[in-house]
Amino acid sequence: MADVAREAGVSRTTVSFVLNNVADSNIPEATRERILQVARELNYVPNVQALNLVTGQTMMIALIVRQTSEQMSIDTFTGEFIRGVTTVIEAQNYHLLVHAAEPDAPESTYGKLVRTRKVDGLLVTSPLVNDPEVRLLHDEGTPIVLNGSTDADDIPSVDVDNRQGAYTAVRHLINIGHRRIGHISNAPFSYRSSSDRLEGYRQALAEAGILYDLNLVMQGEFTPSSGFRPMLALLDSPEPPTAVFVGSDTVAFGALEAVRHRGYRVPEDVSIIGFDDIVFSQYTLPPLTTIRVPAYRLGYSAGELILKIIQGEKLPDYRVVLPTELVIRRSTVKRP
């Protein structure tokens, strides 16, 4: 910038005024043109580091991901989510920093990012949603948005309507004649998403006057293999279900496998409905009926929300809840 100033025969201040289009700095058109010309010739590009230093903004938002390698390899959600986030924030000149929080290093691994002024705000994905560090940072005034629901109602978050989605799924099974309906969760019930989905399941049953039977409720944990045993258990129970609501497509793959393993068929012997609608659910045998979760739009919303918070907008409600959608394919069928 100093070079440009020298070359154009003006002060650095003037160059700054011109390049930033500062109002009330009456620079005549001739000078302005000359400066722009020189800047172009000298191939001037501002140093954002210096800019950040003086403005106090980093134009950077961190996405904190805590997943094992195994989870990551299964996960198509995060990719779509990232795409949604970047689409919004890059349009406003922000960038996304992806940070993998180590499961064993319990704290301050990501708090450091904001304390050292590396980023302006934090997007935190679900397993960390109840981390005390999150609470602390939020109370310190750090712009933060959770992806997933917590019990902490005052922290901004973005999530899908899990209860409603589960309700819709089970309602669908009931509508097509099922009364004995099992459930395998997507994750341990300590996760809010799991307990919310369970609640939706129970609500649908209650409305239809079906008794809640604890023997029909099993716990899955993210992976296909975690759906295998629970499904076997359901099939082997004295009074097996005619339909099962699985809280995650990925877990449902293991469940499908288990049904085949016992020599039964989907959907003739058991109907199965999943949750998430990942791409591969179209290609299982049979294609999986499921509840669609708009991963891209969740990311998009999270991006919008964090930007608003960073820019100090006062919003009436900091929580975004997106609707789900029932996608009927071939793994569920009318009970004769």
Partner DNA sequence: TCGCGTTACTAACCCGTGTCAGTCAAAAAA
Partner DNA sequence: TTTTTTGACTGACACGGGTTAGTAACGCGA
Q: Which does 79 bind (CB under 5 to 8 A by kind): DNA, a copy of itself, none?
A: a copy of itself
Query: Where does this chain touch a copy of itself (CB under 8 A) — which range of 69-77, 123-131, 214-222, 240-248?
Result: 69-77
Measure Cα distances from 6 to 15, 20, 56, 243 in Å. Answer: 10, 18, 28, 78
Nearer to a copy of itself, 83 or 189 (CB): 83
**Does 232 contact a copy of itself by CB under 8 A?**
no
Site string for a copy of itself, 237-276 (x = CB under 8 A): ----------------xx-xx--x----------------
**Does 49 contact a copy of itself by CB under 8 A?**
yes
Alpha-carbon distance of 190 to 203, in angstroms, equals 19
Q: Which long-range contacts (CB under 8 A, 24 or more apart) does 260-265 make?
A: 261/228, 261/232, 262/232, 262/235, 262/236, 264/235
**Does 57 contact DNA by CB under 7 A?**
no
SS3 at position 200: helix
Measure Cα distances from 285 to 14, 167, 183, 332 in Å. Answer: 68, 25, 20, 12
From 43, 47, 73, 93, residue interacting with DNA (rule: CB under 7 A): 47
Least Cβ distance, residue 51 to DNA (angstroms) = 5
DSSP string, 266-296: TTTT-EEE-SB--GGGGSSSSPPBEEE--HH
Contacts with a copy of itself by CB under 8 A lie at: 45-50, 52-53, 58, 60, 67, 69, 72-76, 78-80, 82-83, 86-87, 90, 95-100, 112-113, 115-118, 224, 253-254, 256-257, 260, 278-280, 282-285, 295-296
